[in-house]
Amino acid sequence: MTSDSPSAPETSVPSCYRHPGRETYVRCTRCDRFICPDCMREAAVGHQCVECVNEGAKSVRRPSGAPRGGGDWRPTVTFALIGLCVVAFLGEIASSRFVYELLMTGVAVMPDGSVGGVAEGQWYRLVTSMFLHERPNGDALAITHILFNMWALWVVGPPLERMLGRVRFLALYLLAGIGGSVLLYVLDPGGAAVGASGAIFGLFAAFFVLGLKLGIPVQPIVLVLVLNLVITFAPGTNISWQGHIGGLAVGGLLAAAYAYTPPRLQRMVNVAAPAVVALALLLTVVVKTAAIPGSVL
């Protein structure tokens, strides 16, 4: 194995070629040099450095008025996730059936008298529940559920999406949300929950892990995490702590895999890490379902 610097030991931490004091594990997909978040420019696959983007732009006719230097980057996955949650919230307002048909539960009697849940073969609830939020039902405070989650996604989502890239960011978000649903299913199969909080907690954990790796200040995210955990476990709150902790664990685990993998293995881990986590969650659901009397298994 060779090192970028002839005098550096094999165990040295790579740093950005434009900002030598910044540690990073991301390489430009064109020149293969290490780049920090400030130097990343979204490419068709992965990220490119500023110099490669500018070099490539010389051979492409630029439409009049188009932004330069990677300025056209947008956190499209973050925006799409927020949009899906808002659309789902409007569906909840329109019909209560929209909620109980899609909320997360292991096995429960629904308001229409039917029995539903993951144990009844409705595995889609593991995913759909993360786009639902508390239904207003005349309670003015209920809307704070979706407002806080969407604010958190708006604040934390774009920087994480830029650091990880759209595919890895989406994988982390979805798997963290599913991780929260799975932990609820394992520990309280008769319970019910809605909300993007599990996925949001996964983003908090990922930001903390990547922040430590890249030297980004993490004190604000630690404060937000501590406050939310206090609220989660406070007496009298109707909050699914399993969803929060499950999302936190999965998000932190995936972020650690992305951040601390040696560069030569990065491409493989980008695919393998989410796949392994998804398989582990799948097997957990299968085992739990088989243990519930009368389940589809």
* Catalytic center residues: 197, 244
Q: 85 and 131 in contact (C-beta within 8 Å)?
A: yes
Q: 247 and 176 in contact (C-beta within 8 Å)?
A: yes
Q: 214 and 37 in contact (C-beta within 8 Å)?
A: yes
Residue with tokens 């056209």: 72
CA–CA distance, 87 with 81 (Å, rounded to integer): 10
Measure CA 40 to chain center: 20
134 SS3 class: coil
166 SS3 class: helix
Element (DSSP H or E) covering residue 93:
helix 76-94
Q: Which amino acid is at 45?
A: V
What residues contact 14, with CB distance under 8 A and at least 6 apart? Answer: 4, 23, 24, 25, 34, 263
DSSP state of 15: B
Q: Which amino acid is at 240?
A: S
